[in-house]
Amino acid sequence: QRKFYEENGFLVIKNLVSDADIQRFRNEFERICRGEVKPFGLSVMRDVTIPKSEYVPSEKVVSKVQDFQEDEELFRYCTLPEILKYVECFTGPNIMAMHTMLINKPPDSGKKTSRHPLHQDLHYFPFRPSNSIVCAWTAMEHIDRNNGCLVVLPGTHKGPLKPHDYPQWEAISCHFADANCHYIDVDGTSQKNIEKEVVNTIRKKYGFKDITL
């Protein structure tokens, strides 16, 4: 496991944290979202695309709670023996929790605010040496590509820190071709379905009944 970590920069230990503990953490998170508890120093970050007039405190509008070290229930995660067993292999026995977060991914409001770009955590940490820093990350529900899983590029931890910025997701483009190009007959090809889509779009948008391409 240590060799895999040194080579790839991550290690997956499935079912390390019990379902009972995860449910307790989820319950506390929901209490924080509803404003029932307000731990000192905790930052609650909500979806900025939701107008204040429509804001209703719940887990559906909160994207992250940060710095939960003063919340006794959530901080229990940082003290779980099954977590520290692995953490100590990298930090040694003198362990300190440096940065705590619980990230939530409610359905995107349509503004693409749920997307988070690839980044290097070390870019945000003003302490070293890097080989004495490690993160424990635990999914609180089943995750896959469709609902926002963690993404890692194996081996990139060996390279230098790169400049970070928040990307502009919008884009403008144009496909160019030689003016002498010509249209082809798509009958019998995989592009026939595209032709059908174009015809249906024109019918719906302009109300045409008979269309010949």
User: What pTM, to 2 d.p., does this model score?
Assistant: 0.71
String of b and e for 128-155 (b: at least 16 CB within 10 Å)? eeeeeebebeeebeeeeeeebeeeeeee
Range list of β-strands (E), 87-180: 101-103
* Phi, then psi, of 5 in degrees rounded to 5: -65, -45
DSSP classification of residue 158:
G
pLDDT tens for the 213 residues of the chain, in order:
999 999 999 999 999 999 999 999 999 999 999 999 998 888 888 766 666 655 666 777 788 888 889 999 999 999 999 999 999 888 888 888 988 889 887 666 666 666 677 888 877 777 788 888 888 998 888 888 777 678 899 999 998 877 777 655 444 434 445 556 666 787 877 677 767 877 887 787 677 777 776
The answer to whether 47 and 63 have CB atoms below 8 angstroms apart is yes
CA-to-CA separations, 11 to 6, 47, 96, 104, 155, in angstroms, rounded: 9, 31, 20, 22, 12
CATH for the stretch 2-158 = 2.60.120.620
Report how far residue 81's alpha carbon sits from residue 62's, in angstroms, rounded to the nearest whole number.
29
Domain ranges of the chain: 2-158
Question: Whose structure tokens read 């929901």?
Answer: 30
